[in-house]
Amino acid sequence: MAYAAPKLLKLFSFTDSPDFTLDDLFEAEKAGKIPNFTGRRKSSWTLPQIGAIGEQFGFLAKPQKPVVITSFITKGGVLKSTLVLNLARMAALHNIKTCVVGLDMQGDITAALGCQQDLENASDLHEALTQLSAIRGLPEVMFQKSSPLDLIVETDIPQLSLIPETPELVALEQSLTLKIRREFWLKENVIEPLKQEFDLIVLDASPNWNQLITNALAASDLLLSPLECKINNFRNLKMFQSFIAEFKHDLQLQFDHFYIPTRFSEQRKLSREIFDWYQSHLDNCSSIPIRESVAGEEASALNQSIPEYSPSSPVALEMNSILKMIWNRPVFRMAEGQKSKMLSEGGSYGAFVE
Ligand SMILES: Nc1ncnc2c1ncn2[C@@H]1O[C@H](COP(=O)(O)OP(=O)(O)OP(=O)(O)O)[C@@H](O)[C@H]1O
Ligand SMILES: [Mg+2]
């Protein structure tokens, strides 16, 4: 896909800023500070070129040390995987080396990152099955002693990789229950090796609490929890908060936690009231919601982030603002030395109330 200069300006939310204009972008191209136009359309770039531009002029900085993020809450269909897709694609478009690890047997993020796209185009069942069996996932680390680095699948963005979900995740989850130090298997065997290669590791969780989730949380620096602006989320939230607090306490974990209101509908009074309630009762909640939107749904259907698909839509500008807020969490600004010092002193990443 070609990215024309005006679209790129919007992708990185420069339309907000009078400090960076179309002329600045053209000048940078002419001066060789960013890749030359090679897109098929006039004054445009191809997708693999965008990272070098995002790195220089975008709004997401490479973290000082690798950061691990999990998207999880005990509620289905609240945009957990959508958040992973947006965060991971936008980070990669800033040249941040990103690996998504799928932990949901439904396989939504694996499909969204295009891992199974070729299967649909296979000429017959035999070819499709051969291709399918070639997809290897995390269970190989447990059962075949493979390195997680050997399981990585590339995507359409050069800086974005994936460890795909496979049906054998069920067996992995089961066998984790029998392990000693079972909550730390993922951290020690998967995440630590990935940190050698990646700046950002994003875990997509299923909505139900299981061993893969506890492993994801034990390996994470930051938990992102999408909170639907809907009434049935209220009861669930209370339960979830106490679960997380207890789990953190029992395992002595220190991860940061940030809630993101989702499926916000400005026209509906109840939705507005629920959003306001989140704002006044949670001090670790995004002040900007992801709104219920057709552009959001269409972006997901095309496996793109919202800013890529519809960069001038309100939902895209809001998504970029949410990403900026996530990048403002302490873990992105903290060097490894500070992090371990803080942990050894029994501190947490900030004054967050569970
Ligand atoms: N801004 C949006 N507004 C409305 N719908 C959206 C928006 N963004 C994405 N969607 C749609 O919501 C659907 C569900 O989102 P998603 O798969 O991210 O939820 P989830 O929490 O990961 O679900 P699950 O619990 O099944 O894993 C997506 O398939 C997409 O079609
Ligand atoms: Mg999901």
Among the listed residues 50, 75, 229, 287, the one whose alpha carbon sits nearest the alpha carbon of residue 156? 50
| Structure confidence at residue 40 (pLDDT) | 73
Q: Quick one: how many helices (H) and strands (E) in the chain?
A: 19, 10
Instruction: Give CA–CA dist 130/155, Å, rounded.
Output: 20
Q: Mark whether 43 and 17 lie in a shared domain.
A: yes
User: In angstroms, what CA-CA distances link 132 with 126, 157, 330?
Assistant: 10, 22, 40
Decide if 84 is inside a domain. yes
Minimal CA–CA distance to 113: which of 86, 132, 140?
86
Residue with tokens 């006039």: 42
Q: Can you give the residue range of the structural domain that contains 53?
A: 1-57
The reply to whether ligand 1 has any atom less than 6 angstroms from the CB of 296 is yes
Is 84's C-beta closer than 6 angstroms to any atom of ligand 1?
Answer: no
* Whether residue 82 sits in one domain with residue 52: no
pLDDT given for residue 354 in this prediction? 30
Is residue 351 situated within a structural domain?
no
Q: How far apart are CA 199 and CA 215, in angstroms?
A: 20
Separation CA 293–CA 310 (nearest Å) = 11
CATH number at residue 193: 3.40.50.300
- How many Cβ atoms from other residues are within 10 Å of residue 153's Cβ? 17
Residues 43 and 168 in one domain: no
Token representation of residue 268: 């509906």
Ligand 1 atom at shortest distance from the alpha carbon of 78 = 21
Does residue 349 fall inside a structural domain? no
Beta partners for residue 290, in sequence order: 262
Q: Give SS3 for 210.
A: coil
Residue 236 sits in the same domain as residue 332: yes
Is residue 163 within 8 Å of 100, Cβ to Cβ?
Answer: yes
How much is the pTM? Answer: 0.92
Tell me if 215 sits within 8 A of 113, measured CB to CB.
no
User: DSSP of 271-323, one letter per residue?
Assistant: HHHHHHHHHHH-TTB-SSPEEP-HHHHHHHHTT--HHHH-TTSHHHHHHHHHH
Same domain membership, residue 108 and residue 2: no
Q: Which atom of ligand 1 is nearest to the CA of 84?
A: 18
Query: What helix, strand, coil percent values describe the chain, rounded to 5?
Result: 50, 15, 40
Q: Judge if 19 and 67 occupy the same domain.
A: no
Q: In the listed set 57, 72, 94, which residue is the last one of a domain according to the structure?
A: 57
CB of 320 closer than 6 angstroms to any ligand 1 atom: no
On whether both 239 and 336 belong to a single domain, the answer is yes
State the pLDDT at residue 85: 98
Q: Does 290 sit in the ligand 1 pocket, CB within 6 Å? A: yes
Closest alpha carbon to 354 in 263, 242, 202:
242
Q: What pLDDT sits at residue 181?
A: 87
Judge if the beta carbon of residue 81 lies within 6 A of ligand 1: yes
Per the structure, how many domains does the chain have?
Answer: 2
> Is 137 inside any structural domain?
yes
State whether 207 and 159 are in the same domain: yes
Written as six digits, the tokens of 315 are 């939902």
Q: Would 350 be classed as within a structural domain?
A: no
- End position of a domain, from candidates 38, 57, 76: 57
* pLDDT for res 337: 54
Instruction: Report how far apart, in Å, the C-alpha atoms of 113 and of each of 1, 47, 90, 165 are.
Output: 16, 14, 13, 11
pLDDT of the residue at 24? 87
User: Residue 154: beta bridge partners?
Assistant: 161
Per-residue pLDDT of the chain (354 residues; tens, 9 = 90+): 778 888 888 898 766 566 778 888 889 999 999 998 887 778 889 999 999 999 988 999 999 999 999 999 999 999 999 999 999 999 999 999 999 999 999 999 999 998 766 667 778 888 878 877 778 899 999 999 999 999 999 999 999 999 999 999 999 999 999 888 899 999 999 999 999 999 999 999 999 999 999 999 999 999 999 999 999 887 789 999 999 999 999 999 999 999 999 999 999 999 999 999 999 999 999 999 999 999 999 999 999 999 999 999 999 999 999 999 999 999 998 655 555 555 454 444 333 333
Task: Give a yes or no: residue 353 inside a domain.
Answer: no
81 and 33 both lie in a single domain:
no
Last residue of a domain, one of 42, 57, 72: 57
Q: Which atom of ligand 1 is nearest to the CA of 205?
A: 27
Give the strand pairing for 290-291 and 256-264: parallel
Same domain, 103 and 219: yes
Burial string for 263-275 (b: 16+ CB within 10 Å, else e) reads bbbeeeeebeebb
Q: Are residues 48 and 1 in the same domain?
A: yes
Residues in the chain: 354
Residue 348: per-residue pLDDT? 40
Does residue 214 fall inside a structural domain? yes
Residue at 88 is within a domain: yes
Residues 182 and 260 reside in one and the same domain: yes
